[in-house]
Amino acid sequence: MNQLTFRLALLGLIVIGLVHLSSFAVASADVGASDSPTLEGAQVSPENGPWGSTFTYEVTYTDNENNLPAVGYPIRIYINGSPENMVEKDPTDDDVTDGKVYKHDWATAKENVGPHSFYCYVEMPTGENARDPATGTYDGPRVRWPVSLSCKVENPEPAAGETVTFSGHLKKTEENLGVAGENLTLYKLLLGDDVEISSATTEENGDFTFSLDAPSPGIFFYRARFPGDNYYEASESSCLYVNTLEKPLVFGVYAVILLALVGVLMFLLSRGIARAHYLKPVLLGFAMGFFLLLVGADFIGILAAGGIAGYLFARETPRWTKHLRIGCMTGFLFLLAVGLISVAYFLTWSPDVFLRGYSVTQMEVFGILFVNIIFYIVNYSLLVGMGAVLGGTLRKLLKPAEQKPIGSGEATSSGVEQQ
């Protein structure tokens, strides 16, 4: 019995010893693994760029025992298999237990154009090493040729049913040579997302052509784009437009509505004021103000128009409210003149100035024009009316003796002057 107990106790001690021995081996292995240096977070910035750019590679080195890479054992970046030494990003950082960043700046030349790959590697004097990635390589950067994309519309104002032709050229900017065999896309520019309309491939000399049928009446903006690839940078053309508006119809409808609106407003504001009293101030104020507007006086010319009209009309009445009405009437003449000139310019010479580069149908053009009418009514009424009140006040201050008492010498609601 004693011999059996002894054997069992001995067997137990052997098992316990083996368990402790294996635990120690695992712990030793873990300590050894944690003490080994690591590389992680390898990256290149920027990921794409033209040749002549400098690309920066970075990687983070960590060692739990705070051992820096030994002299003669630098961290290396292998770009396409060719090693380059990396340097400390922050030389004052002596603690590598929480990671220390190393970098390498790569200045590229023409011969570096194309896609590239890289990995980082470090080896310690003890034979330990680290690599990022553990196997294989990372992609990057893509070094590209800078290119320029030019495009024009052969017939920017086609008739209904005509074919619209866009033609252009894709070339290397440094060598002025055409880029062949590249795919380009023509987009219609909308207020929201742009829409792909057509595609083309550059010929041997870099030339390309897009063709499409003239769209329904409106003003449509387009842009040709090259998305870029491993060897060439992305590029896009300037904004182009195709104008298929029915110009006589648009101008005619706009002019009729504007004339009718100004006529009604002028009639309503002139009620109770004799025509002989307001005609000269309104016309002279408008003429002088419009001249100043043409020579670049901007809102000062508009204020001056009201000031002249109000100053001249103040001889007839001291009422500031009527000065304001005279100013508004002068402002409506501005609305009429500027509105007609602006629409004629818009339809004939430069639609892109008004539409800011997005496509609109003919009905949407009408909406934009009529919104502008409301804006001009408010703008000119306020500015010219304010100028007229100031002009009338100025005359009352300069010539108090000529002012008639309120209620005498003014027109009745029928437009006939009271005696």
Lowest mean pLDDT among 17-26, 72-81, 272-281, 342-351: 17-26
Instruction: Report pLDDT for 297.
Output: 75
Sign of the dihedral defined by the CA atoms of residues 354, 359, 362, 363, in that order: negative
- The rounded percent of the chain whose pLDDT value lies above 70 is 86
The amino acid at 289 = G
Would residue 413 count as lying in a domain? no
Q: Maximum Cα–Cα distance for the chain, whole Å?
A: 149
What is residue 348's predicted lDDT score, i.e. its pLDDT?
Answer: 79
54 and 190 both lie in a single domain: no
User: Do residues 261 and 371 both lie within one domain?
Assistant: yes
Question: Higher pLDDT residue, 36 or 90?
Answer: 90
Which of the four pLDDT bands, split at 50, 70 and 90, describes residue 236?
very high
Average pLDDT over residues 142-158: 93
Q: Are residues 229 and 259 in the same domain?
A: no
Domain contains 24: no
**Which of these ranges, 7-21, 180-194, 219-233, 246-260, has the smallest mean pLDDT?**
7-21
372: in domain: yes
63 and 139 part of one domain: yes
Q: Which residue has the higher pLDDT, 10 or 174?
A: 174
Same domain? 236 vs 257 = no
- The pLDDT score that the predictor gives to residue 15 is 58
Residue 59 CB coordination number (10 Å): 27
Same domain? 166 vs 310: no
Say what the pLDDT of residue 252 is: 93
pLDDT confidence bin for 392, thresholds 50/70/90 = confident
Which of the pair, 59 or 322, is modelled with greater confidence?
59
Question: Is a pLDDT exceeding 70 seen at residue 88?
Answer: yes
* Domain range enclosing 265: 247-402
Above 80 in pLDDT, residue 73? yes
CB 198 within 8 A of CB 153: no
**Would you state the pLDDT for residue 369?**
86
- Answer yes or no: is pLDDT of 189 > 60: yes
What pLDDT digit, counting tens, does each position of 282-303 carry?
A: 999 888 888 888 887 777 888 8
In a domain, 13, yes or no: no
Average pLDDT over residues 119-144: 93
Residue 187 shares a structural domain with residue 223: yes
201-205, 310-314, 388-392: which is most confident: 201-205
User: What pLDDT sits at residue 408?
Assistant: 47
Q: Is the pLDDT of residue 2 over 70?
A: no
pLDDT of residue 414: 39
Model confidence pLDDT, tens digit, residues 97-115: 999 999 999 999 999 999 9
Tokens representing 17 are 């010893």
Q: Who contacts 111 (Cβ-Cβ below 8 Å, separation ≥6)?
A: none
Q: Per the domain annotation, does 408 fall within a domain?
A: no
Examine residue 104 and state whether it is found in any structural domain, yes or no: yes
Q: What is the mean pLDDT of residues 10-22?
A: 58
Per-residue exposure over 366-378, b if at least 16 CB sit within 10 Å of its own CB, e if not: beebeebbeebbe
Give residue 405's pLDDT. 60
Give the per-residue pLDDT at 197. 93
| Helix, coil or strand: residue 347 | helix
- The one-character DSSP state at 414 is T
47 and 131 together in one domain:
yes
Q: 384 pLDDT band (50/70/90 cuts)? A: confident
Q: At what angle do helices 320-348 and 275-294 cross, to 10 degrees?
A: 50
Does one domain contain both 301 and 398? Answer: yes
Query: 278 and 396, same structural domain?
Result: yes
How many distinct structural domains can be found in the chain?
3
CA pair distance 214, 166, nearest whole angstrom: 12
Q: What is the CATH number of the domain that holds 108?
A: 2.60.40.10
Q: 3-state DSSP: the chain helix, strand, coil percent, rounded to 5?
A: 40, 30, 30
**Mean per-residue pLDDT, 265-294:** 88
Closest CA to 370 of 249, 255, 245, 217: 255
Residues 291 and 217 in one domain: no
Does residue 59 lie within any of the structural domains?
A: yes
* Range name among 4-8, 42-46, 308-312 with the lowest pLDDT average: 4-8
Answer yes or no: is pLDDT of 139 > 90.
Answer: yes
For residue 29, the model assigns a pLDDT of 43
Residue 260 lies in a domain: yes
Give tens-digit pLDDT for 302-329.
888 888 998 898 888 888 889 899 988 9
* Average of per-residue pLDDT across 189-207: 92
User: Is pLDDT of 182 > 50?
Assistant: yes
Neighbours of 191 (CB within 10 A): 11
Those residues whose C-beta lies under 8 Å from the C-beta of residue 395, and which sit 6 or more positions away, are 310, 311, 314, 315
Q: What is the pLDDT of residue 299?
A: 75
**The pLDDT value given to residue 132:** 97
Same-domain check for residues 42 and 124: yes
Residue 419's pLDDT band (cuts 50, 70, 90): very low
Asked if pLDDT for residue 187 goes beyond 90, the answer is yes
The answer to whether residue 160 scores a pLDDT higher than 80 is no
pLDDT for 223: 95
